[in-house]
Chains A and B, each alone.
Chain A
Protein backbone atom coordinates (compact mmCIF):
# COMPACT_ATOMS: atom_id res chain seq x y z
CA UNK A 1 0.00 0.00 0.00
CA UNK A 2 2.95 2.31 0.44
CA UNK A 3 4.49 1.81 -2.98
CA UNK A 4 4.56 4.60 -5.48
CA UNK A 5 5.41 4.69 -9.12
CA UNK A 6 8.20 7.17 -8.57
CA UNK A 7 11.86 6.33 -8.57
CA UNK A 8 14.07 6.75 -5.51
CA UNK A 9 17.02 8.67 -6.92
CA UNK A 10 20.25 8.93 -4.95
CA UNK A 11 20.87 12.30 -6.54
CA UNK A 12 17.85 14.14 -7.81
CA UNK A 13 20.07 16.55 -9.72
CA UNK A 14 22.21 13.96 -11.41
CA UNK A 15 21.23 15.41 -14.78
CA UNK A 16 23.05 18.63 -13.83
CA UNK A 17 26.82 18.58 -14.43
CA UNK A 18 28.73 18.48 -11.13
CA UNK A 19 30.61 21.75 -11.73
CA UNK A 20 27.40 23.58 -12.58
CA UNK A 21 25.73 22.13 -9.50
CA UNK A 22 28.61 23.32 -7.28
CA UNK A 23 28.51 26.73 -8.94
CA UNK A 24 24.78 27.00 -8.19
CA UNK A 25 25.30 25.85 -4.63
CA UNK A 26 28.16 28.32 -4.10
CA UNK A 27 25.65 31.08 -4.89
CA UNK A 28 22.84 29.46 -2.97
CA UNK A 29 20.55 32.02 -1.30
CA UNK A 30 19.60 29.38 1.27
CA UNK A 31 23.23 28.83 2.20
CA UNK A 32 23.98 32.56 2.30
CA UNK A 33 21.00 33.11 4.58
CA UNK A 34 22.09 30.30 6.91
CA UNK A 35 25.65 31.61 7.10
CA UNK A 36 24.31 35.05 8.01
CA UNK A 37 21.93 33.57 10.58
CA UNK A 38 24.74 31.71 12.29
CA UNK A 39 26.89 34.86 12.29
CA UNK A 40 24.27 37.00 13.99
CA UNK A 41 22.05 34.41 15.69
CA UNK A 42 18.96 35.87 14.05
CA UNK A 43 17.26 32.51 13.58
CA UNK A 44 16.70 32.10 17.30
CA UNK A 45 13.33 33.49 18.29
CA UNK A 46 12.66 34.91 14.85
CA UNK A 47 9.61 34.56 12.67
CA UNK A 48 10.81 31.20 11.45
CA UNK A 49 10.15 29.82 14.90
CA UNK A 50 6.43 30.29 14.52
CA UNK A 51 6.32 28.30 11.32
CA UNK A 52 6.17 24.97 13.07
CA UNK A 53 6.08 23.82 16.60
CA UNK A 54 9.55 22.87 17.76
CA UNK A 55 8.54 19.30 18.37
CA UNK A 56 8.09 16.92 15.49
CA UNK A 57 4.59 15.55 15.21
Chain B
Protein backbone atom coordinates (compact mmCIF):
# COMPACT_ATOMS: atom_id res chain seq x y z
CA UNK B 1 0.00 0.00 0.00
CA UNK B 2 1.31 3.44 -0.94
CA UNK B 3 1.63 5.72 2.07
CA UNK B 4 0.60 9.30 1.49
CA UNK B 5 1.65 12.33 3.42
CA UNK B 6 -0.82 14.69 1.79
CA UNK B 7 -4.53 14.48 1.09
CA UNK B 8 -5.24 17.52 -1.03
CA UNK B 9 -8.89 18.51 -1.11
CA UNK B 10 -10.12 20.68 -3.93
CA UNK B 11 -12.93 22.35 -2.03
CA UNK B 12 -13.70 25.00 -4.67
CA UNK B 13 -13.15 24.56 -8.40
CA UNK B 14 -13.18 28.24 -9.29
CA UNK B 15 -11.03 31.16 -8.25
CA UNK B 16 -11.76 34.78 -7.47
CA UNK B 17 -8.57 35.84 -9.25
CA UNK B 18 -6.81 34.76 -12.45
CA UNK B 19 -3.05 34.42 -11.96
CA UNK B 20 -1.39 34.56 -15.36
CA UNK B 21 0.76 31.48 -14.73
CA UNK B 22 -1.85 29.32 -12.98
CA UNK B 23 -1.55 25.63 -13.87
CA UNK B 24 -5.23 25.02 -13.08
CA UNK B 25 -6.71 27.59 -15.46
CA UNK B 26 -4.06 28.99 -17.78
CA UNK B 27 -1.82 26.16 -18.91
CA UNK B 28 -4.09 24.21 -21.22
CA UNK B 29 -6.11 21.99 -18.88
CA UNK B 30 -9.79 22.83 -18.48
CA UNK B 31 -10.89 19.98 -16.23
CA UNK B 32 -12.22 22.51 -13.73
CA UNK B 33 -15.03 23.47 -16.14
CA UNK B 34 -16.86 20.21 -15.51
CA UNK B 35 -16.42 20.27 -11.77
CA UNK B 36 -19.05 21.42 -9.28
CA UNK B 37 -18.19 24.83 -7.83
CA UNK B 38 -17.90 23.46 -4.32
CA UNK B 39 -17.32 20.14 -2.64
CA UNK B 40 -20.68 18.69 -1.54
CA UNK B 41 -21.79 17.63 1.91
CA UNK B 42 -22.05 14.01 0.73
CA UNK B 43 -18.48 14.09 -0.57
CA UNK B 44 -17.26 15.61 2.70
CA UNK B 45 -18.97 12.76 4.56
CA UNK B 46 -17.34 10.19 2.28
CA UNK B 47 -13.92 11.81 2.74
CA UNK B 48 -14.26 11.87 6.52
CA UNK B 49 -15.32 8.24 6.55
CA UNK B 50 -12.35 7.20 4.41
CA UNK B 51 -9.82 9.29 6.34
CA UNK B 52 -11.07 7.75 9.56
CA UNK B 53 -10.09 4.38 8.11
CA UNK B 54 -6.82 5.65 6.64
CA UNK B 55 -5.58 6.92 9.98
CA UNK B 56 -5.72 3.37 11.28
CA UNK B 57 -4.33 1.60 8.22
CA UNK B 58 -1.44 4.00 7.65
CA UNK B 59 1.07 4.30 10.45
CA UNK B 60 2.53 7.60 9.30
CA UNK B 61 0.38 10.68 9.94
CA UNK B 62 -0.75 12.58 6.89
CA UNK B 63 -1.61 16.21 6.29
CA UNK B 64 -4.80 17.54 4.78
CA UNK B 65 -4.59 20.60 2.57
CA UNK B 66 -7.62 22.59 1.47
CA UNK B 67 -6.98 23.88 -2.01
CA UNK B 68 -8.78 25.07 -5.10
CA UNK B 69 -9.34 27.22 -7.09
CA UNK B 70 -9.59 29.50 -4.12
CA UNK B 71 -10.61 27.40 -1.11
CA UNK B 72 -12.07 30.30 0.89
CA UNK B 73 -14.71 30.78 -1.80
CA UNK B 74 -16.61 28.07 0.07
CA UNK B 75 -17.52 30.68 2.67
CA UNK B 76 -17.61 30.50 6.44
CA UNK B 77 -20.58 28.13 6.81
CA UNK B 78 -19.29 25.47 4.43
CA UNK B 79 -15.78 25.79 5.84
CA UNK B 80 -17.07 25.24 9.36
CA UNK B 81 -19.03 22.15 8.26
CA UNK B 82 -16.03 20.79 6.40
CA UNK B 83 -13.48 21.33 9.18
CA UNK B 84 -15.91 20.12 11.81
CA UNK B 85 -16.45 16.87 9.87
CA UNK B 86 -12.73 16.38 9.37
CA UNK B 87 -11.74 17.13 12.95
CA UNK B 88 -14.27 14.62 14.30
CA UNK B 89 -12.13 11.87 12.77
CA UNK B 90 -8.71 13.54 12.42
CA UNK B 91 -6.81 14.35 15.62
CA UNK B 92 -5.05 17.68 16.03
CA UNK B 93 -1.69 15.99 15.64
CA UNK B 94 -2.57 15.66 11.95
CA UNK B 95 -2.04 18.98 10.19
CA UNK B 96 -4.89 20.59 8.34
CA UNK B 97 -3.97 23.68 6.37
CA UNK B 98 -5.39 26.01 3.75
CA UNK B 99 -3.48 27.40 0.79
CA UNK B 100 -5.19 30.67 -0.11
CA UNK B 101 -4.66 33.90 -1.99
CA UNK B 102 -5.67 35.58 1.26
CA UNK B 103 -8.21 37.98 -0.15
CA UNK B 104 -11.23 36.36 1.50
CA UNK B 105 -9.68 36.05 4.95
CA UNK B 106 -12.09 37.41 7.56
CA UNK B 107 -12.23 37.29 11.33
CA UNK B 108 -15.04 34.75 11.08
CA UNK B 109 -12.90 32.51 8.85
CA UNK B 110 -9.95 32.90 11.22
CA UNK B 111 -12.05 32.01 14.26
CA UNK B 112 -13.23 28.85 12.52
CA UNK B 113 -9.68 27.91 11.54
CA UNK B 114 -8.48 28.53 15.07
CA UNK B 115 -11.27 26.39 16.54
CA UNK B 116 -10.50 23.46 14.24
CA UNK B 117 -6.71 23.84 14.35
CA UNK B 118 -6.29 24.69 10.70
CA UNK B 119 -3.34 26.83 9.65
CA UNK B 120 -3.16 29.19 6.71
CA UNK B 121 -0.50 29.73 4.08
CA UNK B 122 -0.93 32.75 1.83
CA UNK B 123 0.28 33.05 -1.76
CA UNK B 124 2.21 36.30 -2.21
CA UNK B 125 4.95 36.72 -4.79
CA UNK B 126 6.76 39.72 -3.33
CA UNK B 127 6.51 43.48 -3.32
CA UNK B 128 3.51 45.15 -4.95
CA UNK B 129 5.10 45.50 -8.40
CA UNK B 130 6.32 41.90 -8.42
CA UNK B 131 3.12 40.41 -7.04
CA UNK B 132 0.86 42.35 -9.39
CA UNK B 133 2.81 41.21 -12.44
CA UNK B 134 1.03 37.86 -12.38
CA UNK B 135 -1.37 37.60 -9.48
CA UNK B 136 -4.19 39.56 -11.03
CA UNK B 137 -7.96 39.64 -10.97
CA UNK B 138 -10.24 38.60 -13.81
CA UNK B 139 -9.92 42.06 -15.34
CA UNK B 140 -6.14 42.12 -15.06
CA UNK B 141 -6.10 44.27 -11.96
CA UNK B 142 -3.42 43.78 -9.31
CA UNK B 143 -4.43 41.95 -6.15
CA UNK B 144 -1.59 42.98 -3.84
CA UNK B 145 -3.55 45.42 -1.67
CA UNK B 146 -6.37 42.97 -1.07
CA UNK B 147 -3.96 40.15 -0.25
CA UNK B 148 -2.11 42.38 2.21
CA UNK B 149 -5.42 43.32 3.84
CA UNK B 150 -6.05 39.61 4.40
CA UNK B 151 -2.57 39.10 5.82
CA UNK B 152 -3.09 42.02 8.22
CA UNK B 153 -6.25 40.32 9.56
CA UNK B 154 -4.32 37.07 9.88
CA UNK B 155 -1.55 38.81 11.83
CA UNK B 156 -4.02 40.61 14.08
CA UNK B 157 -5.89 37.48 15.16
CA UNK B 158 -5.19 36.36 18.76
CA UNK B 159 -4.21 32.89 17.49
CA UNK B 160 -1.95 34.24 14.74
CA UNK B 161 1.09 32.34 15.98
CA UNK B 162 -0.64 29.10 15.10
CA UNK B 163 -2.74 30.30 12.19
CA UNK B 164 -0.11 32.11 10.11
CA UNK B 165 1.89 29.22 8.74
CA UNK B 166 3.82 31.13 6.09
CA UNK B 167 3.90 32.45 2.56
CA UNK B 168 4.13 30.73 -0.78
CA UNK B 169 5.88 32.75 -3.49
CA UNK B 170 6.53 32.01 -7.14
CA UNK B 171 9.99 33.24 -8.07
CA UNK B 172 10.27 36.23 -10.39
CA UNK B 173 13.83 35.70 -11.66
CA UNK B 174 14.22 39.35 -12.69
CA UNK B 175 13.55 40.58 -9.20
CA UNK B 176 16.13 41.44 -6.57
CA UNK B 177 16.13 38.53 -4.08
CA UNK B 178 17.42 40.73 -1.29
CA UNK B 179 14.48 43.11 -1.72
CA UNK B 180 12.01 40.23 -1.83
CA UNK B 181 13.51 38.58 1.26
CA UNK B 182 13.54 41.82 3.24
CA UNK B 183 9.97 42.57 2.20
CA UNK B 184 8.74 39.17 3.34
CA UNK B 185 10.64 39.55 6.57
CA UNK B 186 9.02 42.94 7.18
CA UNK B 187 5.59 41.31 6.89
CA UNK B 188 6.40 39.06 9.82
CA UNK B 189 5.90 35.72 8.12
CA UNK B 190 7.52 32.77 9.87
CA UNK B 191 8.57 31.18 6.60
CA UNK B 192 8.49 31.43 2.83
CA UNK B 193 8.22 28.68 0.28
CA UNK B 194 9.70 29.86 -3.01
CA UNK B 195 8.55 27.90 -6.06
CA UNK B 196 9.88 27.66 -9.58
CA UNK B 197 7.56 28.74 -12.36
CA UNK B 198 5.79 25.88 -14.10
CA UNK B 199 7.15 24.83 -17.47
CA UNK B 200 8.84 21.94 -19.23
CA UNK B 201 11.10 21.01 -22.15
CA UNK B 202 8.34 21.66 -24.70
CA UNK B 203 7.69 25.08 -23.27
CA UNK B 204 10.52 26.58 -21.25
CA UNK B 205 9.45 28.30 -18.04
CA UNK B 206 9.25 32.07 -18.10
CA UNK B 207 12.65 33.62 -17.43
CA UNK B 208 14.74 30.68 -18.66
CA UNK B 209 16.54 31.38 -21.92
CA UNK B 210 17.68 27.78 -22.45
CA UNK B 211 17.93 24.40 -20.76
CA UNK B 212 21.47 25.25 -19.65
CA UNK B 213 20.74 28.74 -18.36
CA UNK B 214 20.72 29.41 -14.62
CA UNK B 215 18.47 32.41 -14.06
CA UNK B 216 16.63 30.73 -11.21
CA UNK B 217 19.78 29.14 -9.81
CA UNK B 218 21.49 32.54 -9.70
CA UNK B 219 18.48 34.07 -8.03
CA UNK B 220 18.47 31.37 -5.34
CA UNK B 221 22.24 31.68 -4.90
CA UNK B 222 21.86 35.39 -4.18
CA UNK B 223 18.99 34.66 -1.84
CA UNK B 224 21.22 32.17 -0.02
CA UNK B 225 23.80 34.89 0.71
CA UNK B 226 21.14 37.15 2.16
CA UNK B 227 19.55 34.32 4.12
CA UNK B 228 22.69 32.99 5.74
CA UNK B 229 24.04 36.46 6.56
CA UNK B 230 20.80 37.40 8.34
CA UNK B 231 21.17 37.32 12.16
CA UNK B 232 17.39 36.93 12.56
CA UNK B 233 16.30 34.89 9.57
CA UNK B 234 12.87 33.69 8.52
CA UNK B 235 12.77 30.14 7.19
CA UNK B 236 13.23 29.54 3.48
CA UNK B 237 12.06 26.03 2.76
CA UNK B 238 13.83 25.30 -0.52
CA UNK B 239 17.20 26.52 0.80
CA UNK B 240 16.70 24.67 4.09
CA UNK B 241 16.01 21.46 2.21
CA UNK B 242 19.06 21.80 -0.06
CA UNK B 243 21.36 22.62 2.88
CA UNK B 244 20.00 19.77 5.00
CA UNK B 245 20.36 17.32 2.13
CA UNK B 246 23.92 18.53 1.52
CA UNK B 247 24.65 17.98 5.20
CA UNK B 248 23.37 14.41 4.93
CA UNK B 249 19.85 15.00 6.20
CA UNK B 250 16.55 14.76 4.37
CA UNK B 251 14.24 17.26 2.74
CA UNK B 252 10.71 17.91 3.88
CA UNK B 253 9.09 18.45 0.52
CA UNK B 254 8.97 17.33 -3.09
CA UNK B 255 11.23 18.93 -5.69
CA UNK B 256 14.55 18.18 -4.01
CA UNK B 257 15.90 14.98 -2.46
CA UNK B 258 14.76 11.47 -3.19
CA UNK B 259 12.14 10.95 -0.50
CA UNK B 260 8.80 9.79 -1.88
CA UNK B 261 6.05 12.17 -0.86
CA UNK B 262 2.79 10.41 -1.63
CA UNK B 263 -0.21 12.53 -2.48
CA UNK B 264 -3.86 11.93 -3.25
CA UNK B 265 -5.90 14.76 -4.71
CA UNK B 266 -9.67 14.74 -4.32
CA UNK B 267 -11.54 17.02 -6.70
CA UNK B 268 -14.75 18.87 -5.84
CA UNK B 269 -16.88 16.05 -7.29
CA UNK B 270 -14.97 13.43 -5.31
CA UNK B 271 -12.78 12.22 -8.19
CA UNK B 272 -9.34 11.02 -7.11
CA UNK B 273 -6.55 12.41 -9.27
CA UNK B 274 -2.78 12.33 -9.47
CA UNK B 275 -0.66 15.28 -8.45
CA UNK B 276 -2.68 18.12 -9.94
CA UNK B 277 0.40 20.14 -10.96
CA UNK B 278 0.72 17.63 -13.83
CA UNK B 279 -2.11 19.57 -15.48
CA UNK B 280 0.60 21.94 -16.71
CA UNK B 281 2.13 19.25 -18.95
CA UNK B 282 -0.89 18.30 -21.07
CA UNK B 283 -4.65 18.28 -20.76
CA UNK B 284 -5.83 15.52 -18.45
CA UNK B 285 -2.32 14.52 -17.32
CA UNK B 286 -3.47 14.37 -13.72
CA UNK B 287 -6.24 11.86 -14.43
CA UNK B 288 -6.10 8.16 -13.64
CA UNK B 289 -7.43 5.66 -16.18
CA UNK B 290 -9.78 4.35 -13.50
CA UNK B 291 -12.57 6.74 -12.67
CA UNK B 292 -11.99 6.55 -8.93
CA UNK B 293 -14.26 8.59 -6.72
CA UNK B 294 -14.27 8.92 -2.95
CA UNK B 295 -18.05 8.47 -3.00
CA UNK B 296 -17.81 5.03 -4.61
CA UNK B 297 -14.30 3.69 -3.92
CA UNK B 298 -12.26 3.12 -0.79
CA UNK B 299 -8.88 4.77 -0.35
CA UNK B 300 -7.53 1.37 0.60
CA UNK B 301 -8.55 -0.02 -2.80
CA UNK B 302 -6.96 2.94 -4.58
CA UNK B 303 -3.75 3.11 -2.53
CA UNK B 304 -3.09 -0.59 -3.03
CA UNK B 305 -3.53 -0.43 -6.81
CA UNK B 306 -0.65 -0.62 -9.29
CA UNK B 307 -1.92 2.46 -11.07
CA UNK B 308 -1.72 4.59 -7.94
CA UNK B 309 1.73 3.20 -7.09
CA UNK B 310 2.93 4.00 -10.62
CA UNK B 311 1.71 7.58 -10.29
CA UNK B 312 3.68 8.03 -7.05
CA UNK B 313 6.78 6.53 -8.68
CA UNK B 314 6.67 9.35 -11.19
CA UNK B 315 8.46 11.47 -8.58
CA UNK B 316 11.58 9.35 -9.00
CA UNK B 317 14.05 10.62 -11.56
CA UNK B 318 14.40 8.06 -14.33
CA UNK B 319 16.49 9.80 -16.99
CA UNK B 320 20.03 8.49 -17.57
CA UNK B 321 21.36 11.99 -16.93
CA UNK B 322 19.82 11.94 -13.44
CA UNK B 323 20.74 8.34 -12.75
CA UNK B 324 24.39 9.14 -13.43
CA UNK B 325 24.40 12.50 -11.69
CA UNK B 326 26.45 12.69 -8.46
CA UNK B 327 23.97 15.24 -7.08
CA UNK B 328 20.84 13.11 -7.54
CA UNK B 329 20.56 12.56 -3.78
CA UNK B 330 20.25 16.31 -3.22
CA UNK B 331 18.50 17.39 -6.40
CA UNK B 332 16.16 14.44 -6.72
CA UNK B 333 15.55 15.29 -10.36
CA UNK B 334 13.12 18.07 -9.56
CA UNK B 335 9.37 17.91 -9.96
CA UNK B 336 7.84 15.58 -12.58
CA UNK B 337 6.03 18.41 -14.33
CA UNK B 338 9.38 20.10 -15.01
CA UNK B 339 10.70 16.94 -16.70
CA UNK B 340 7.99 16.70 -19.33
CA UNK B 341 8.79 16.47 -23.04
CA UNK B 342 6.25 15.11 -25.51
CA UNK B 343 8.66 12.65 -27.14
CA UNK B 344 10.17 11.19 -23.98
CA UNK B 345 7.42 12.07 -21.50
CA UNK B 346 8.85 12.34 -17.95
CA UNK B 347 12.11 10.50 -18.69
CA UNK B 348 14.19 13.67 -18.78
CA UNK B 349 16.14 15.73 -16.31
CA UNK B 350 14.26 18.69 -14.90
CA UNK B 351 14.14 21.76 -17.06
CA UNK B 352 15.65 23.36 -13.93
CA UNK B 353 18.57 20.88 -13.89
CA UNK B 354 21.22 23.59 -14.39
CA UNK B 355 19.58 25.84 -11.80
CA UNK B 356 19.47 23.03 -9.25
CA UNK B 357 23.15 22.22 -9.87
CA UNK B 358 24.03 25.92 -9.60
CA UNK B 359 22.50 26.33 -6.16
CA UNK B 360 23.71 22.92 -4.93
CA UNK B 361 27.27 23.77 -5.97
CA UNK B 362 26.99 27.13 -4.26
CA UNK B 363 25.85 25.48 -1.01
CA UNK B 364 28.60 22.87 -1.23
CA UNK B 365 31.30 25.46 -1.87
CA UNK B 366 30.05 27.56 0.99
CA UNK B 367 29.96 24.68 3.47
CA UNK B 368 33.40 23.59 2.32
CA UNK B 369 34.71 27.13 2.88
CA UNK B 370 33.40 26.96 6.45
CA UNK B 371 35.02 23.59 7.01
CA UNK B 372 31.65 21.84 7.42
Contacts and interface: CB of A to CB of B under 8 A. Distances in A.
Chain A partners chain B: yes
Interface of A: 1-13, 16, 21-22, 24-31, 34-35, 37-38, 41, 43-45, 48-57
Contact of B228 (A30, A43, A53, A54): A30
Contacts of A35: 247, 372
Contacts of A12: 176-178, 222-223, 225-226
Given A50-B165, A51-B166, A57-B23, A11 B221 contact: yes
Given A41-B249, A43-B249, A21 B172 contact: no
Contacts of A25: 225, 228-229, 366, 370
Given A52-B253, A55-B261, A45 B61 contact: yes
Contacts of B195: 56-57
Contacts of A29: 230-233
Contact of A1 (B20, B176, B207, B277): B20
Interface residues of B, number: 76
Given A16-B229, A56-B195, A6 B244 contact: no
29 contacts: A2-B172, A4-B133, A8-B176, A10-B221, A12-B222, A12-B225, A12-B226, A21-B225, A22-B369, A25-B228, A25-B229, A27-B231, A28-B230, A28-B233, A29-B232, A30-B230, A37-B244, A38-B244, A43-B244, A43-B249, A43-B252, A51-B191, A52-B193, A52-B237, A52-B253, A53-B67, A55-B6, A56-B193, A57-B195
A24 to B, nearest CB: 4
Contacts of B258: none
Interface of B: 5-6, 8, 20, 23, 61, 63, 65, 67, 95, 97, 99, 119, 121, 129-130, 133-134, 165-166, 168, 172-179, 190-191, 193, 195-196, 206-207, 215, 218-219, 221-223, 225-233, 235-237, 239-240, 243-244, 247-250, 252-255, 261, 263, 275-277, 335, 366, 369-370, 372
A55 B336 CA distance: 11
Nearest to B191: A51
A8 B277 contact: no
A29 to B, nearest CB: 6
A51 B129 contact: no
A26 B369 CA distance: 9
A2 B219 CA distance: 16
B193 A51 contact: yes
Nearest to B170: A56
